[in-house]
């Protein structure tokens, strides 16, 4: 199904995108590496070293969303989240975590193939300046992470590497952020021409496959 609205039971545009990205979506949310994070058992080294490179392109993509959003009110949530990543919260976590793992945040180790592909997709969306496509890629990254992090139950792992990574992707603020991204897709998607809907779906699916492969890479022995 490549057109939204063909199925009468389809609830929202974002839900249609998610359902059209199965089985990869469920594979990300239920991935064994995510389960290992929740249990405090995941070896975070390769994952965080690679994710620090992911976050660079992700931050640039947030900047593109600020520029491409159609109104001041729509730009504000991107600006707010951009601030969180760029300042103490996420950047601070990466610096502390990489230091604890004996890694240098300033080093730029070779990207794994999936990291390079993910960065290429985000850079493509950024330079394309097509707002719904930009939102689709951001939405996959955040919504799928909310999906696995929501599986965590108290007590969270004691070690900060796992506990804080879960907390960064869960909680009322992160839920509201994901709700905003989904809301943008739900607001704009249904009125898009068929070829643009197909472009948005293609970006959403590609990002979902890359999320799955990213966890596969992290879990590799």
Ligand X SMILES: Cc1ncc(CN)c(N)n1
Query: Which positions touch ligand X (CB under 6 A)?
Result: 51, 54-55, 141-142, 145, 211, 214
Quick check: is 184 catalytic? no
Shortest distance, CB of residue 153 to ligand X, whole angstroms? 20
Q: How far is CA 113 from CA 34, 74, 89, 142, 216, in A?
A: 20, 33, 27, 21, 12
* 4 or 205: CB nearest ligand X: 205
User: Is 51 labelled a binding residue?
Assistant: yes
* 11 or 110: CB nearest ligand X: 110
User: What are 118's two structure tokens?
Assistant: 């993910």
Tell me how far apart the alpha carbons of residues 64 and 83 are, in angstroms, rounded to a whole number: 14
User: Residue 15's closest CA among 221, 164, 178, 157?
Assistant: 178
Tell me how far apart the alpha carbons of residues 49 and 33 are, in angstroms, rounded to a whole number: 15
Residue carrying structure tokens 């974002």: 14
Shortest distance, CB of residue 191 to ligand X, whole angstroms? 28
User: Is 142 labelled a binding residue?
Assistant: yes
* 4 or 214: CB nearest ligand X: 214
Contact 151, 163 (CB under 8 A): no
Q: Closest residue to ligand X, Cβ-based?
A: 141
Shortest distance, CB of residue 7 to ligand X, whole angstroms? 28
Residues making up the annotated binding site for substrate are 51, 90, 142
Residues making up the annotated binding site are 51, 90, 142
Active site residues: 211
């Amino acid at each position: 199904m490549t057109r939204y609205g063909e199925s009468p039971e389809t609830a929202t545009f974002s839900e249609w995108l998610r359902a059209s990205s199965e089985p990869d979506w469920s594979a990300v949310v239920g991935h064994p590496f995510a389960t290992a994070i929740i249990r405090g058992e995941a070896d975070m080294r390769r994952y965080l070293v690679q994710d620090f490179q992911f976050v660079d392109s992700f931050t640039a993509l947030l900047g593109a969303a600020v520029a491409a959003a159609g109104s001041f009110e729509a730009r504000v949530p991107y600006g707010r989240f951009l601030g969180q990543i760029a300042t103490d919260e996420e950047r601070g976590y990466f610096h502390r975590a990489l230091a604890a793992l004996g890694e240098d945040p300033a080093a730029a180790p070779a990207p794994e193939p999936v990291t390079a592909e993910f960065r290429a997709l985000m850079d493509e969306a950024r330079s394309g300046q097509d707002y719904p496509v930009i939102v689709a890629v951001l939405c996959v990254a955040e919504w799928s992470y909310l999906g696995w992090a929501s599986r965590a139950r108290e007590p969270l792992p004691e070690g900060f590497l796992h506990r804080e990574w879960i907390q960064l992707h869960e909680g009322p603020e992160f839920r509201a952020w994901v709700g905003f991204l989904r809301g943008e897709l739900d607001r704009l998607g249904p009125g898009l021409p068929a070829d643009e809907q197909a472009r948005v779906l293609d970006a959403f699916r590609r990002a979902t496959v890359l999320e799955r492969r990213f966890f596969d890479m992290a879990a590799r022995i």
